[in-house]
Amino acid sequence: MVELALLERAAGMFDGQPVVEYAVENFLAQPAASRITQIANKTGFSSRRFIELFRQHVGMTPKLFCRVRRFQAVLRRITSGRPVNWTNTALDCSYFDQAHFIHDFRAFSGINPSKYLAGYKDFPRHHNHLPIACMRQATGQFFTIRDVVECGRMRL
């Protein structure tokens, strides 16, 4: 319900900024970070100004937006119920290699892809919601998302 309310609120956030709307439409069509410079150049704005406008209206940089979209594509793919081949998933979702894929997956979810998939079985049809447990790298202890937020340890 909260997700729907946020989506409705976001629907009008591009009013008066066709450049941002153009960029978002292009990034949604194909979320490849290498296209950011191309799209910025097509807008007529400098890269710095383009990024500033995008961040102001979307809430994140174009690069982070594309990373999030790519991560969401991974989640849709691995939660489809079909057998998962991690290498193919990484390549099909525009990752250069499996190491970059795993790095992004951990950055966004706090856990590795295999642990996510194992935990996902408890939350079918909710690929935007992760199990509320992450592994603290330094100690190997588990902690809650609340702990992450309070400590400010979630890095994207």
The number of C-alpha atoms within 13 Å of 75 and in the hemisphere containing its C-beta is 23
Q: What's phi and psi for 142, nearest 5 deg?
A: -90, 150
In this prediction, residue 32 carries a pLDDT of 63
Please, are residues 54 and 23 in contact by the beta-carbon 8 Å criterion?
yes
Relative to beta strand 142-143, strand 134-135 is antiparallel
Record the pTM. Answer: 0.69
Q: Which two tokens stand for residue 86?
A: 């991690």
CATH superfamily of 65-151: Homeodomain-like (1.10.10.60)
Q: In the numeric block, which tokens belong to residue 149?
A: 């937020």
- Gap between the Cα atoms of 34 and 54, Å rounded: 16
Type of residue found at 139: T
Note whether 77 and 85 are within 8 A (CB). no
Q: Give me the residue label for tokens 């799209």.
A: 39
37-55 pLDDT per residue, tens: 888 888 888 889 999 999 9
The domain locations on the chain are 2-59, 65-151
Q: What is the dihedral of CA 106, 121, 78, 31, to 10 degrees?
A: -60
List the structure tokens of 58: 């979307």
- Residues 89-143 pLDDT 10s: 999 888 988 899 999 998 988 888 888 887 766 555 555 555 444 444 433 444 4
Evaluate the CA torsion angle 40, 43, 49, 53 in order and state its sign: negative
